[in-house]
Amino acid sequence: MKLFPIVFFISFVCFGQGNTSFDQKRDSIIQTGLNSYFQRDTLGLIESNNRLKEIYNINKDSLSLAKIFHFKALIHRIQYRLDSSYYYYHQSKDISRQIKDSLEVGRRLLSMCYMQKDEGDYIGAEVTIIEGLRYLEPLNENLYTAHSLNGLGNVLTDQKIFSEARVYFLKAEELYKENEQERVREARLLDIKNNIGNTHLLEGNPQKAIRYLKEAIETKDIKEKYPNQYQALLGNIADCKYELGEKKQAWDNYRELLRFRKEKGNFFGQSLSHNGLSELYIIEGNTKKALFHAKKGYDLAKQVNNNATRLSALLKLGELTSGNQSKQYYQEYAQLNDSLNNRERYLKNQFAKVRYETEKKDKENTTLKLTKEQNEREIERQKQEKLIGWLLSLAILLLLILSLVSYRNRRKKMLYEGQIQKATAREEERQQIAKSLHDEVAGDLRMLHQKLVQNNADEAKSIEGIKENVRNLSHQLSSVSFEEVSFKDQIINLISDAFAPGFRITTEGIDTISWKEINSTIKRTLYLCVRESLQNTMKYAEASTFVIAFSQEKKDIKVSLKDNGKGFDNAKSSKGIGLKNLKERVEEIRGSFEIESSKEGAKTSISIPIHG
Amino acid sequence: MGDKIRIAVVDDHQLMLKGICDSLGEFSNYETECFSTCDSVFAALRESKESNPFDVLFTDLSFENTNESTRIDGGESLIKKVREEDISIKIGVITGHTETNRVFNVITNLQPNAYILKNHCSGEELNFAVQKMIKGETFYTHEIHQKIMNRNIIQIQMDEIAIQILKELPRQSKIINLEGKIKKSDGTEMKIRAIENKLANLRIDLNAKNNTDLVLKAKELGIID
């Protein structure tokens, strides 16, 4: 006779974070739901589950989701839809596993183990409970670990591996002893003793069994405090005594048990008792009483869905009755047995299927995850490659542009330098001509003049004029030595030469330019421009002021030369050799040279790039 | 002989050379030697440096009788060479170059003891120049003097700080009051010592006796209105 407590949800510990109102609300709903389950209140349980769903819809937390599946499992379990129940346990367990809630995983597996065990799938139950223990043991938690160890012991007992079962019962006992809740501890220790005693009894050692059982049943107030344990113990003790031949005492115990079960309204237990008594009466040969108890047992078993007892009772009824009635009982027995066998097979298959499909799904998920990760990696790699490609082509493009620009700059610079060189060469040539003019022509003229002075004064005068012209020409061509004196000093010298009363020359911005950094060809050209313009103004313009304004704009040096003279006719002006010469010089070094004239005076604007 | 002043003259124009030498020869206490190239006069100066040194050298600036073998090709180079050789001698420039640029370059860079223009030079002027040079003074022909003066005026006109000082000077009773009134081109104030230095230089440039004279001269010359 086997009796196993099915109470696993005695103390529900609120774990997780109780610090938010959501968590508190959720925990209270879970508690209400569990109470409904213990009272077999399907509606209450469904209601609690709906409230959990609302919470989940707002919160989207995995903990709520796991509980929703758990409750679904419980709802199906109450209604004996074990395959569905098993399925939802499985789902709930998987979610808990994903959020690494090992305790919940272990508890779900424990429930699943008992379902499998109850349906005779002992091997499956063993596998399940061992898996559960793997989750629970690292937690150092003693209640559910002990429950699981006890469960494993029960599964092993069912498989008639008694000594091993006892090892696990003892392990569970150690843990139960550490439990701080007195009622839980005592009840559980009674269970363990009963279970151990049961193994000895089943092993054919009633003497040893009865020692454990008697020790347990002598617990104080056991009937009031632990009625379930008392019933189980009393049943087993009676079995032991019967085996040991103490029939009278056994009978007394059986009757006491039935009486107690009736008192407690335990129909399941009553069915067991009646069935057991019937069996005893058959052995004693009391057919009438045997038939009575068999019938009672059969009715009660049918009422509480205790199929095993019902089957056993049917067999007895078939034996005890005769004719048509007996035939009917046998037929029912055969039908029930077939359907139970089918159901057992079906459930075993279902359990296996659920496990298989979840595992498959898991595998698929893992494979999908892997593939997804691979794809993502591939995409990432491609992205990187693309980026590198872009960067590379950008770099190449930049390099190309850079080299093109530097090439053009170099070309420009070389061209400019070439032009400067050309300008310098021409300058040297001019200097040479100027020198010759000054020294040879003017010198010879001077000598001629001195000779003529003694003879003919008139001719001497004209020679003097020619000499002056030649000197001027020479000065126009020459630009004297520039290396030793600063540009500002040169300009001052130039203005000094033009110094005359009633003629005011002013300069602007000469200090804003760092002349040392300017190429000497540019400076020479500017100097000659100023000189030429100044000489023209002095000779023809009848001006009283002359303004020389220097400025630097970006990469150009600008000079504006302005007088307040009478101006000149732009159309008529054939541009003297001096101006033509200057314009040429400025343009040689890429500058611009412009002259405007009006009644208010003439203005010359020169702009020369500093770096070509 | 020993008391005589030894003068070396170098010019590429024979006529000019002869004229100068003749003019100097009229004075009995001068012993004059004439050279037509810079190289020859430089060799003579170096040779006689210890034994019988020259006191005065008159040189032209441009020489046209130069060829491939000429080492010193003009007056400026000659003056530099003489100075480099550390020959103790007074140097006077006799030339036709009147452009301020050339004049200024020669005077600032080579600092000759005299600058005389060929076209108006006479024996008396040469003699006066030699006397001044021997005394360690400087002699510039009047025209050159005028040019330098003009140049100083222009320079002052272009010098913003000088203009500021000259404009501010009549308004202040004491020079010390000028402090804080004069701004440099970068916007900072000029220190009183720097102002005083500047004033001293301006007085020299414009040949003024004191600050009042300086302001008057500046007005007269049109530097300030």
CA–CA separation, A108 and A129 (whole Å): 10
pLDDT at A560: 94
pLDDT bin (cut points 50, 70, 90) of residue B129 is very high
pLDDT at B112: 93
CA–CA separation, A233 and A198 (whole Å): 9
Is A196:A214 a contact under the CB 8 Å cutoff? no
The conformation of residue A570, written as its DSSP 8-state character, comes to T
pLDDT bin (cut points 50, 70, 90) of residue B115 is very high
Q: Which chain B residues contact residue A490 at CB under 8 A?
A: 101
Q: Point out the residue among A475, A495, A501 whose CB comes nearest to the CB of B154.
A: A495
Please compute, for residue A375, the number of CA atoms within 13 A of its CA located in the half-sphere on the CB side.
6
Please compute, for residue A213, the number of CA atoms within 13 A of its CA located in the half-sphere on the CB side.
25
Count the helix, strand and coil residues of chain A and give each as a percent rounded to the nearest 5. Answer: 75, 5, 20
Secondary structure (DSSP) of A31-81: HHHHHHHHTT-HHHHHHHHHHHHHHHHHH--HHHHHHHHHHHHHHHHHTT-
Average pLDDT over residues A345-364: 78
Q: Give CA separation, A557 vs A129, A270, A611, in Å.
A: 96, 121, 10
Average pLDDT over residues A152-163: 89
pLDDT at A246 over 70: yes
pLDDT at A27: 83
Phi/psi of residue A555, each to 5°? -115, 15
The full 3-state SS of A129-163, as one line of letters, equals HHHHHHHHHHHCCCHHHHHHHHHHHHHHHHCCCHH
Average pLDDT over residues A306-315: 83
Task: Name the amino acid, one letter, at A15.
Answer: F
Q: What is the pLDDT of residues B174-206, one digit of tens each?
A: 878 888 788 877 778 888 888 888 888 888 888
pLDDT at B85 over 80: yes
Phi/psi of residue A527, each to 5°? -60, -45
Asked if B158 is an interface residue toward chain A (Cβ–Cβ < 8 A), one would say yes
CA–CA separation, B129 and B27 (whole Å): 13
Q: At what angle do helices A62-78 and A42-59 cross, to 10 degrees?
A: 160
Which one, of A278, A199, A186, A197, lies nearest residue A237 by Cα?
A197
Asked if B155 is an interface residue toward chain A (Cβ–Cβ < 8 A), one would say yes
Which one, of A408, A411, A414, A417, lies nearest residue A588 by Cα?
A417
pLDDT at B113: 93
pLDDT at A273 over 80: yes
List, in order, residues 6 or more apart from A135 with CB less than 8 Å away: A97, A102, A103, A105, A106, A109
Is B213:B205 a contact under the CB 8 Å cutoff? no
pLDDT at A401: 95
Kindly report the number of other CB atoms within 10 A of residue A283's CB atom: 11
> Of A18-22, A100-104, A217-221, B146-150, where does mean pLDDT reach its minimum?
A18-22
pLDDT at A454 over 80: no
> Of A84-98, A107-121, A438-452, B128-142, where does mean pLDDT reach its minimum?
A438-452
Please compute, for residue B207, the number of CA atoms within 13 A of its CA located in the half-sphere on the CB side.
9
Whole-number average pLDDT of chain A: 82
pLDDT at A568: 76
* Residue with more model confidence, A440 or A221: A221
Q: What is the pLDDT of residues A193-231, one digit of tens each?
A: 889 988 998 888 888 888 888 888 888 888 888 888 888
CA–CA separation, A93 and A109 (whole Å): 7
pLDDT at B146 over 90: no
Q: Element (H or E) spanning A512, and its range?
A: none
pLDDT at B210 over 50: yes
Q: Element (H or E) spanning A330, and its range?
A: helix A323-435
pLDDT at A528 over 80: yes
pLDDT at B41: 92
Q: Point out the residue among A435, A443, A485 whose CB comes nearest to the CB of B13.
A: A443
B interface test, pick of A492, A507, A513, A544 with most B CB neighbours within 10 Å: A492
Is A274:A297 a contact under the CB 8 Å cutoff? yes
Strands (E), A170-322: none
pLDDT at A173 over 50: yes
Average pLDDT over residues A485-510: 84
pLDDT at A1: 40
pLDDT at B116: 92
Torsion (CA) B83, B84, B87, B90 in degrees, nearest 10: 0
Which one, of A441, A575, A567, A562, lies nearest residue A508 by Cα?
A562
Query: Which token pair is A427?
Result: 């300058």
Q: Which chain A residues contact residue B150 at CB under 8 A?
A: 496, 499
pLDDT at B9: 93
Task: Name the amino acid, one letter, at A299.
Answer: D
Is A607:A572 a contact under the CB 8 Å cutoff? no
CA–CA separation, A17 and A34 (whole Å): 19
Q: Which residues pair with A550 in a beta bridge?
A: A559
Q: Please say whether the dihedral angle defined by the alpha carbons of residues B142, B146, B147 and B151, taken in this order, is positive or negative.
A: positive
pTM of the model: 0.45
* Range among A2-11, A208-217, A434-443 rated most confident: A208-217
pLDDT at B1: 45
A interface test, pick of B101, B110, B144, B224 with most A CB neighbours within 10 Å: B101
pLDDT bin (cut points 50, 70, 90) of residue A276 is confident
Which one, of A269, A330, A254, A278, lies nearest residue A304 by Cα?
A269
CA–CA separation, A520 and A524 (whole Å): 6
> Of A102-106, A443-447, B75-79, where does mean pLDDT reach its minimum?
A443-447
Q: Point out the residue among A435, A480, A492 whose CB comes nearest to the CB of B151.
A: A492
The Cα of A556 is separated from the nearest Cα of chain B by a number of Å equal to 23
pLDDT at A581: 76
CA–CA separation, A219 and A554 (whole Å): 110
Q: Which chain A residues contact residue B104 at CB under 8 A?
A: 485, 489, 492-493, 496
Which one, of A486, A543, A495, lies nearest residue A515 by Cα?
A486
pLDDT at B8: 93
Is A206:A167 a contact under the CB 8 Å cutoff? no
pLDDT at A572 over 70: no
pLDDT at A549: 93
Q: What is the pLDDT of residues B31-63, one digit of tens each?
A: 999 999 999 999 999 888 888 899 999 999 888
pLDDT at B220: 83
Is B64 close to A439, i.e. CB distance below 8 A? yes
pLDDT at A390 over 90: yes
pLDDT at A265 over 90: no
Is B104 close to A435, i.e. CB distance below 8 A? no
In our burial notation (b when 16+ CB lie closer than 10 A, e otherwise), range A169-208 reads: bebbbebbeebeeeebbbbbbbbbbbbbbbbbbbbeebeb
CA–CA separation, A553 and A610 (whole Å): 10
How many residues would you count in chain B?
A: 225
pLDDT at A551: 92
pLDDT at A388: 94
B interface test, pick of A433, A497, A544 with most B CB neighbours within 10 Å: A497
pLDDT at A78 over 90: no
